[in-house]
Amino acid sequence: MSILAQQNLRELQALLESGACSSRDIVTSVAEQIQTVDGDIHAYLEADTEAALVEADAADARRAQGEKGPLLGIPVAIKDLLNVKGQSCRCASKLLEGFVSPYDATSVAKLRQAGAIPFGRVNMDEFAMGASTEHSAYGVTRNPWNLEHVSGGSSGGSAAAVAAHTAIVSLGSDTGGSVRQPASFCGCVGLKPSYGRVSRYGLTAFASSLDQVGVLSKTVADAADTLSVVAGHDPRDTTSDPIGVPDYAAALGEDLKGMKIGIAEEFFGEGVDPEVAASVRKAIDHCVSLGAEPVAVQFPHLKYAVSIYYILAPAEASVNLSRFDGIRYGNRVEADDPVSMMCKTRDAHLGDEVKRRILLGTYVLSSGYYDAYYVKALKARALIKQDFDKVYEQCDVLMSPVAPTTAYKIGAGAQDPLAMYLGDICTIPSNLSGGCGLSVPCGFSQAGLPIGLQILGPAFAEERILRAGHAFEQSTDWHLKQPGSFS
């Protein structure tokens, strides 16, 4: 048998239940794996093994009392923008270096209630702005499949940790694709729940109308189990939805017979790497061979999605990040007066990409440009939602590539922000509409880099996308492939 850290969540649960291993054994194995491989990958910003072992013992004691549950005794790696009481939360920014969270995010509190162990802070693009984890102030996270390539972003640490078996599951966040795209780049599963499905309380806000806590895991079943724990209404987040949490695990049993799969050619347009397009089309054909029915649909406004997002997300970010001013939050750089102090603080401690977004966002919200850009983008956002509404009248789920390319070389995209923004075209629409989305491994490029299949569904249709993803995964072996050794 391979080491515990290489098992998936369900396998570990079975071992725990049978008494074959303890939670302490699992945490120890994950910590050892971090020791062995994370020097190469750099998914972790920190991981306090001693503290995690104390919690592991508590979980083992709960199990000894007869308690059960999908995450009981399982360590979960946490993206560095979710608050975990007593742990640092710096959003991969120098501005927040040294900040220790005084409380648990609701998603983290739910993990703890279920007996899971928040173990380790994983790397990300600063304040979740980026698609490669190159914008972290603490160094890039490398792709376990090829260390010269990016892990994707902004939840690159979460995805690389799962792929490198330094995490069993991980929580990330997805504002424009940050869970699905790194999952696709690293060959693991990434689930972006519907807007309002998981509480955002304690998730450091980037763009509040788009942000959603998501899950990165080794299998679709593991993502379903984790979602069942973190989902649900939270009175502390007014945008969280009171709709009940269904039994996601139950949805996994069903096959694909009769499921209508929408295919919109717009998602396979210019800029999509032919290898990526071919793998995704093959994956869709495979679903059809399992009994699904393909339906050609249209998505006429896709071409506007990137522009809409890069007006709305920076606008919201410029407001959300105003709290990092050296007074309310952030490491202060002293100056003679408060305004110079704020300027110096932000200038010294924020990275270029974050500054770019703040400038852009402030500009589109300024009087004179507000109507021309911000209001117009809001109206155009409604057109994306309309496209989805029409699509879902004709089919149950929409399938597409997750990203137009596989993971690029470190340094290749960072110099050209616009090119990197265009890489978000397939994932952004789901955030703009509030729907849910899943990334499932579906192939490899000639160069040996993973390719992901995106499965999109309407708001609160997670059962549908999980069912499709699980059926696909169970009849293929892409998810079983492992990256080689790293050094």
Q: Given the rule CB under 6 A, which residues bind ligand GLN? A: 128-131, 154, 174-178, 206, 313, 424
Task: Please state, in angstroms and rounded to a whole number, the distance separating the CA atoms of residues 53 and 19.
Answer: 18
Residues 473, 256 contacting (CB under 8 angstroms): no
Nearer to ligand GLN, 123 or 178 (CB): 178
The residue assigned the tokens 């899950």 is 215
- Work out how close the CB of 261 gets to ligand GLN at its nearest, in angstroms, rounded to a whole number: 25
Nearer to ligand GLN, 8 or 154 (CB): 154
Task: Please state, in angstroms and rounded to a whole number, the distance separating the CA atoms of residues 400 and 390.
Answer: 17
Nearer to ligand GLN, 4 or 216 (CB): 216
Q: Which residues pair with 82 in a beta bridge?
A: 203
Token pair of 208, please? Answer: 């509040």
Query: Exactly one of 132, 158, 178, 240 is catalytic; which is it?
Result: 178
Nearer to ligand GLN, 153 or 483 (CB): 153
Q: Quick one: angle between helices 106-113 and 220-230, nearest 10?
A: 100
Task: Please state, in angstroms and rounded to a whole number, the distance separating the CA atoms of residues 217 and 188.
Answer: 6
- Work out how close the CB of 211 gets to ligand GLN at its nearest, in angstroms, rounded to a whole number: 7
Token pair of 293, please? Answer: 């029915």
**For 191-273, where are the alpha helices, taking DSSP H only?**
220-230, 248-251
CB atoms within 10 A of CB 217: 28
CB atoms within 10 A of CB 53: 18
- Work out how close the CB of 131 gets to ligand GLN at its nearest, in angstroms, rounded to a whole number: 4
- Distance, first Cα to last Cα, the chain: 23
- Work out how close the CB of 316 gets to ligand GLN at its nearest, in angstroms, rounded to a whole number: 11
Number of H helices, E strands in the chain: 16, 13
Nearer to ligand GLN, 187 or 361 (CB): 361
248, 253, 256, 261: CA torsion to nearest 10: 10
Report the phi/psi class of residue 202: left, alpha or beta, with left for phi > 0 and alpha for psi in -120 to 50: left
- Work out how close the CB of 425 gets to ligand GLN at its nearest, in angstroms, rounded to a whole number: 11
Find the residue with minimal CB distance to ligand GLN.
178
Nearer to ligand GLN, 152 or 187 (CB): 152
Known catalytic residue at 218: no
Query: Exactly one of 23, 154, 155, 439 is catalytic; which is it?
Result: 154
Nearer to ligand GLN, 309 or 472 (CB): 309
- Work out how close the CB of 309 gets to ligand GLN at its nearest, in angstroms, rounded to a whole number: 7
Burial 65-74 (b: 16+ CB within 10 A, else e): eeeebbbbbb
Known catalytic residue at 390: no
Query: Exactly one of 23, 79, 400, 433 is catalytic; which is it?
Result: 79
- Work out how close the CB of 345 gets to ligand GLN at its nearest, in angstroms, rounded to a whole number: 23
Nearer to ligand GLN, 23 or 178 (CB): 178
- Helix (H) or strand (E) run with residue 340 in it: helix 338-349
113, 162, 416, 447: CA torsion to nearest 10: -160
- Strand segments, DSSP code E, in 155-292 are 169-173, 189-192, 213-217, 260-264
Known catalytic residue at 154: yes
User: Residue length, the chain?
Assistant: 487
- Work out how close the CB of 208 gets to ligand GLN at its nearest, in angstroms, rounded to a whole number: 12
The residue assigned the tokens 């750089």 is 333
Active site residues: 79, 154, 178
